[in-house]
Structure 1
Amino acid sequence: MTSPSTILIVGGSGFVGTAVASRLTRDGIRLVIPTRRRERARHLLTLPCVELVEADVFDPATLDRLMVGVDAVVSLVGVLHSRSGSPYGPDFARAHVELPTRLVAAARKAGVSRIVHVSALGADPTGPSEYQRSKAAGEAAIRTAEPEVAWTILRPSVIFGPGDSFLNLFAGLLKRFPLMPLGGARARFQPVYVGDVADVIAEALVRADAAGQVFDLAGPQVYTLRQLVEYVGDLTGHRRPVLPLPEGLAMLQAAVLECLPGPLMSRDNVRSMRADNVASGAPQPWGRQPTSLETVAPGYLGKANKRARFDAWQLGRE
């Protein structure tokens, strides 16, 4: 398969998108990265071969223009919270279903040959949460791209790395509160390093055997949520007692948090944790060896990095 020379990254200005852009520019690939507000993506301007375009990717005519001259698309847009609905709420529908559908239509029209779509581990049309059901519907939309456009779907577990909104979130909470009431304390996760995600995306764009495939992306080890929170506490020097909450209390806690701006937790998040977020087979494709949490997390969560940890936590809340 011919390596793409120009790639459109939709959702390219966020945490994962930044890692993907950094990885792809190392190969000399020209990147087109749309963003709603150019100033929020200014950190990408230091990368070579990056064109930032202020654009609304949810507008079909805009997508058509963005696809001109593009060889491949990386689809990264995702949201964690939505107004409720059946089988999923309107915000999930817009980001996870309608946008992939429009991406496929625009790619076909422009003659784009490849789409790599990042979904989520646990995507399931009958899953317990609206998030999981909407992610599955988005995957179904991507599959309709063939035969005109070759697709690859990646399903990562929770993603960690400098600037993440997962471990850094708990670091900030543990610093501020003497006790950690925790819903889903027994839920199991297999966190994957953002650098591994970027590497797999780069490889999927050029491998012929990646076309038409769905791959899990996970790390080498499974942890409960409680274990992850306690590990963050150890690294930051702010270990707190963890109080596991039964689902009823966790739902009540989430209902209160939903009322806050930029909610930390929602009832749908609690429902998501009914299903383990663990790879069903090999953690990564093509015999790749995943990076361990213990290799990376101390570098940005350790006590010597308090200022950097706080900045990353704040970034994750924006």
Structure 2
Amino acid sequence: MNDAPGRASTVVALTGATGFIGNALRERLLRGGHAVRALYRPRRGRVMPQAPGLTWVAGDLGDRDALAALVEGAKVVVHCAGNVRGARREDFDLVNEKGVADIAQAARGTAGCERFLLISSLAAREPQLSDYARSKRLGEEALAAHAGHLAWAAIRPPAVYGPGDREMLPLFEGMARGLAPIPGDGRGRFSMIHVADLASAVLAWVDNDGVSGAIHELDDGHARGYDWDTVLATAARVLRDGAPIRRLRIPVACLRVVAGVNLLAARLFGYAPMLTPGKVREITHADWTCDNRTFTEATGWHPAIGFAEGLAQTLGKTPAALNGVPQ
């Protein structure tokens, strides 16, 4: 289905097109009437989904020839690929900083390429917290340094969830069973966004010329974000017919011990950890709230999915579960 049959097709080069967010972006751009050239890592037996207007380009961010092929003929680049797991600073910097610089340079050197959108992270606002957060800020700075004539922008989404998500799904499934692990004192506030709203925001940017050099924060429009009381009350109504959800508070000291052991083991055995001391600092940070004001002013975009509806979608609940639940 084409959401905008009267709009001329733009060729969009997309990285990270096979991940949770990238899948949603790829499908939304295609439905929006654009052609998509998508980067993927080939491996034995892998068969990529096919769709009208979709071209797959084999390679990765470290392959300059693949990047040149990806951006060839593209007017817009949407760079979604990133690394969220690592045992060392260089694990993040290689992808989240150098990868941005390399594809920006490829786009800058391609005739006809005019615009570049980086999917960053709200963590970039607090680069002192972790190697990941630092690398995302460095990625934004790398884009500014290497964009050249390209008009560019960066989007900083907060926690992204929705059908197909693996990171937040265990938390939501725990809530459905009546138990919610809460890191630290549980008094922080945070924003969220449904993956479909993030995808529609990217489409809005692609379809609207804006001021180059802008960095936008996005959320689902819930004023001042959420606290745990609001999240658990909503989850109880949507997932448990009003039955309470018990809080399991996890002291920061315990998280730090587990994260330290996990990081040491990851370095010894060569795997990429998620829970690290830096991640503990991220998840216990007091303020991860944001709003859409600058992005809405630039594009006219507005979020459409509130947390209650998004939570029901994520866990496959029927619309009846939303009766009487405020959005």
Q: Structure 2 length normalisation: TM-score?
A: 0.79
Structure 1: distance between partners of 2:14 and 2:254: 40
Unaligned runs of 5+ in 2: 1-6, 320-327
Q: 1:110 is matched with which residue?
A: 110
1:182 corresponds to: 182
> Which residue is equivalent to 2:66?
62
RMSD over aligned CA atoms reads 3.0
Partner of 2:313: 299
Cα 1:271–1:74, aligned 2, differ >3 Å: closer, same or farther? same
Larger radius of gyration: 2
Displacement of 1:266: 2.6
Secondary structure of 1:252's aligned partner: helix
Residue 289 of structure 1: aligned partner? 302
Structure 2: which amino acid aligns with 1:31? Answer: V
* Match of residue 316 from structure 1: none
The yes-or-no answer on 1:23 pairing with 2:33 is no
User: For 1:285, what is the secondary structure of its paired residue?
Assistant: helix
Q: How much does 1:138 deviate? A: 0.2
Q: What whole-Å deviation, never above 9, does each CA across 1:206-259 have from its counterpart, x for those lacking one?
A: 322243211111122222357546754664449653232332222123335555
1:224 aligned to 223, 227, 232, which one?
Answer: 227
1:32, CA displacement in angstroms?
0.9
Structure 2 CA distance for aligned equivalents of residues 80 and 280 of structure 1:
23
1:269: Cα distance to partner? 1.3
Aligned to 2:82: 78
1:135-174 aligned within 5 A? 135-173=136-174
1:92 is displaced (CA, Å) by: 0.8
Distance change (3 Å), C-alpha of 1:214 and 1:4: farther
Q: Would you say 1:277 and 2:291 are equivalent positions?
A: no
Distance between the aligned counterparts of 2:229 and 2:293, measured in 1? 24
Q: Deviations over 1:131-174 (max 9, x none)?
A: 11111000001112444111011010111211123431213455
Identity rate, percent: 25
Per mean C-alpha deviation after superposition, the further-off stretch among 140-149 and 230-239 is 230-239
Compute the displacement of 1:283 (Å).
7.9
Report the residue type matching 2:277 in the other structure: R
Q: Which residue of 1 aligns with 2:255?
A: 250
Q: Match for residue 91 of structure 1?
A: 91
Q: Distance in 2 between matches of 1:130 and 1:299?
A: 32
How far apart in 2 are the matches of 1:51 and 1:251? 44
Q: Which residue of 2 aligns with 1:214?
A: 215
Contact (CA 8 Å) 2:21, 2:195: kept in 1 or not? yes
Matched, 1:37 2:54: no
Alignment check: 8 A CA contact 1:215 1:285 kept: no
**Any conservation in 2 of the 1:11–1:35 contact (CA below 8 Å)?**
yes
- In structure 2, C-alpha distance between the alignment counterparts of 1:161 and 1:6, rounded to whole Å: 27
* In 2, Cα distance between equivalents of 1:165 and 1:224: 22
**Which residue type is aligned with residue 248 of structure 1?**
A
Q: Is the 8 A contact 1:11 1:77 kept in 2?
A: yes
Q: CA deviation at 1:9?
A: 0.4
Q: 1:263 to 1:41 in 2, by over 3 A?
A: farther
- Look up the match of 2:325: none
| 1:116-142 per-position Cα deviation (integer Å, ceiling 9, x unaligned) | 101011314742211111110000011
Deviation at 1:114, TM superposition (A): 0.9
2:14 aligned partner: 9
Match for residue 276 of structure 2 among 250, 259, 266: 266
Counting only pairs closer than 5 Å after superposition, residues 109-128 of structure 1 correspond to structure 2 as 109-111=109-111, 112-124=113-125, 126-128=127-129
CA distance in 1, matches of 2:73, 2:226: 44
Pair 1:181–1:255, CA change in 2 (3 A):
farther
Q: Distance in 1 between matches of 2:34 and 2:281?
A: 40
Query: Is contact 2:76–2:116 with CA below 8 Å preserved after alignment?
Result: yes
Q: 1:104 to 1:4 in 2, by over 3 A?
A: farther
Post-superposition offset of 1:296: 2.1
2:56 is aligned with 1:52 = yes
> Matched residue of 2:23: which SS?
helix
Pair 1:256–1:229, CA change in 2 (3 A):
farther
Question: Cα 1:26–1:235, aligned 2, differ >3 Å: closer, same or farther?
Answer: same
> Could you tell me how far apart the structure 1 residues matched to 2:83 and 2:199 are?
19
Paired residues of 2:38 and 2:70 also in contact (CA < 8 A)? no
